[in-house]
Amino acid sequence: MKASELLKAANREEAELLDKIDLQRLPEHLAVIMDGNGRWAQRRHLPRVAGHRSGVKAAREIIESCARLKLPCLTLYAFSLENWRRPQAEVDFLMRLLREYLKRELPAIHKNNIRLLIIGRSEQLPEAVRKDIQSAMSVTAKNTGMKLVVALNYGGRAELVDAFNALLQQVRANGMAAFQADEQTISEHLYTAGLPDPDLLIRTSGEMRVSNFLLWQIAYAEIYVTETLWPDFSRERLLEALVDFQKRERRYGGLGTARERARGLAAASGKSGRS
């Protein structure tokens, strides 16, 4: 099957990019740091929240495109632990936007067989948000298509702290004095347990930082940074990133792709690679 049979090109540029995509070699897990909503608005002399609204539109297009291309997993960094430091009005707006998004898009997400998952310290989110995400997760729980993971109130170091504490609790409760952790036990206690590690990380708006995102999981990810601000990150920009990813993978060969490196390492240490 060709990519152009899954996605209908909107213009010649998209058609050319789709032709270059090898469906067998798409990332298993694409993670995205959506950055630049504020700058997008600022350049248009609009309030920052207008940038977030346009950011939601971009997210919708990327989610739909990834689901159509049958990517197994897409993670979006929507709200970090540090984001609480923004003005209260902006935080409130982001929470409202998320609830609005879930309410409006849930039928389409469900129809597209997408399973919604949330990672982060969701217990600290406002109750109304928690209720909405809980019900969206249960509605889509049995869906078998793409996993859409939304990182909300997420921090990579906090995730590691939570994983270590969960492990310690288990060790204490079971009196496992001789217990020794290994990479697999740690992975299994992260919020992302059961998901493949991202093999491609995209960051928009040009910053060369990982911003406390999936610190453990991106150990072998290819990183793609684009100057494009998130609200302008269209389907065409996504296809460019995927084509670039496939070129890079081709350059390595043998045990050299990000995915093979991750699996090879797991095999070498006697662990089975996760699916």
In the list 7, 21, 30, 56, the residue contacting ligand FPP (rule: CB under 6 A) is: 56
- CB-nearer residue toward ligand FPP: 29 or 52: 52
AA letter at 115: R
- CB-nearer residue toward ligand FPP: 203 or 259: 203
Q: Are the beta carbons of 23 and 1 closer than 8 angstroms?
A: yes
Q: How far apart are alpha carbons 201 and 131 in whole angstroms?
A: 29
In the list 7, 34, 118, 239, the residue contacting ligand FPP (rule: CB under 6 A) is: 34
Residue 116 engages ligand FPP in binding (rule: CB under 6 A): no
- CB-nearer residue toward ligand FPP: 52 or 147: 52
Q: How far apart are alpha carbons 275 and 272 in whole angstroms?
A: 9
Known catalytic residue at 199: no
In the list 6, 91, 97, 243, the residue contacting ligand FPP (rule: CB under 6 A) is: 97
Which stretches of the chain are DSSP H helices?
3-6, 12-20, 37-43, 48-68, 88-111, 127-140, 156-173, 183-188, 235-252, 258-268
Axis crossing angle, helix 235-252 with helix 48-68, rounded to the nearest 10: 60
Q: What is the tally of helices (H) and strands (E) in the chain? A: 10, 6
**Catalytic one of 83, 112, 143, 212:** 83
Q: How far apart are alpha carbons 12 and 10 in whole angstroms?
A: 7
CB atoms within 10 A of CB 25: 13
List the structure tokens of 216: 């453990």
- CB-nearer residue toward ligand FPP: 35 or 64: 35
In the list 26, 27, 30, 36, the residue contacting ligand FPP (rule: CB under 6 A) is: 36
**Catalytic one of 11, 35, 37, 174:** 35
For the CB of residue 125, give the shortest distance to ligand FPP in the complex, in Å: 14
Known catalytic residue at 83: yes
- CB-nearer residue toward ligand FPP: 103 or 172: 103
In the list 30, 59, 71, 190, the residue contacting ligand FPP (rule: CB under 6 A) is: 59
In the list 3, 28, 29, 35, the residue contacting ligand FPP (rule: CB under 6 A) is: 35
Q: Are the beta carbons of 64 and 20 closer than 8 angstroms?
A: no
4-23 binders of ligand FPP (CB under 6 A): none
183-242 binders of ligand FPP (CB under 6 A): 230
Q: How far apart are alpha carbons 273 and 196 in whole angstroms?
A: 9
- CB-nearer residue toward ligand FPP: 71 or 94: 94
Report CA torsion sign: 3, 5, 6, 12: positive
The residue whose Cβ lies closest to ligand FPP is 38
Largest separation between any pair of C-alpha atoms in the chain: 63
User: Under rule CB under 6 A, how many of the chain's residues touch ligand FPP?
Assistant: 18
The torsion of the CA quartet 123, 128, 133, 136, rounded to 10 degrees, works out to 150
Give the range of 35-43, 125-133, 158-166, 255-263 binding ligand FPP by CB under 6 A.
Answer: 35-43
Q: Which residues are catalytic?
A: 35, 83
**Which residues lie near ligand FPP (CB under 6 A)?**
34-39, 52, 55-56, 59, 76, 78, 83, 94, 97, 101, 150, 230
